[in-house]
């Protein structure tokens, strides 16, 4: 899946991956790949700027740590990041329920939900 298809959703995906606990940048990219069954393969040039944007917004914080002898920046959710993630999840549920009414096949002969 291309990064363009994720426009508007990348921040929520990153917050969701960090909901599992702190991770360094490459581990975030790997988690996106694993959890998506290999569908999401995002380049570092997409993920790292988004992480910096989330950090400036106060949704994640980072610190330097040594992992396997290498210095790596580790990211974790802040309290505001958890609130933002909860809001993103709620919005996503509403969005998919609404769009699903149109894109899910309707049984033959049955009209879709009535409009208000």
Cα–Cα nearest to 11, from 61, 47, 58, 56: 47
Instruction: Indicate if the pLDDT at residue 19 is higher than 60.
Output: yes
Q: What is the pLDDT confidence band of residue 111, given thresholds at 50, 70 and 90?
A: low
Whether residue 108 lies inside any domain: the answer is: no
Whether residue 62 lies inside any domain: the answer is: yes
Residue with the two structure tokens 């969005």: 95
List the CATH number of the domain containing 65: 1.10.10.10
Whether residue 115 lies inside any domain: the answer is: no
Cα–Cα nearest to 12, from 61, 63, 82: 82
Tell me, what DSSP letter sits at residue 107? P
Domain count of the chain?
Answer: 1
- Cβ distance 54 to 11 under 8 Å? yes
Whether residue 89 lies inside any domain: the answer is: yes
Interval 32-74: pLDDT, tens:
999 999 999 899 999 999 999 999 999 999 999 887 888 999 9
Instruction: Indicate if the pLDDT at residue 108 is higher than 60.
Output: yes
Range of the domain at 59: 3-100
Helix, strand or coil, per DSSP, at residue 4: helix
Tell me, what DSSP letter sits at residue 97? H
Phi, psi at residue 61, to the nearest 5°? -130, 155
Cα–Cα nearest to 4, from 43, 31, 35: 43
| Number of CB atoms found within 10 A of residue 78's CB | 16
Cα–Cα nearest to 8, from 98, 104, 73, 95: 95
Whether residue 116 lies inside any domain: the answer is: no
Whether residue 75 lies inside any domain: the answer is: yes
Whether residue 110 lies inside any domain: the answer is: no
Whether residue 17 lies inside any domain: the answer is: yes
């Amino acid at each position: 899946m291309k990064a363009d298809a994720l426009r508007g959703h990348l921040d929520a995906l990153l917050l969701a991956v960090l909901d599992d606990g702190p991770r360094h940048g490459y581990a975030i990219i790997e988690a996106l790949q694993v959890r998506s069954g290999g569908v999401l393969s995002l380049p570092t040039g997409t993920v790292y700027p988004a992480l910096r944007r989330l950090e400036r917004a106060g949704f994640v914080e980072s610190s330097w740590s040594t992992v396997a002898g290498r210095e790596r920046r580790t990211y974790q959710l802040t309290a505001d990041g958890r609130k933002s993630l909860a809001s993103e999840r709620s919005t996503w549920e509403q969005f998919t329920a609404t769009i699903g009414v149109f894109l899910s096949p309707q049984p033959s002969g049955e009209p879709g939900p009535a409009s208000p």
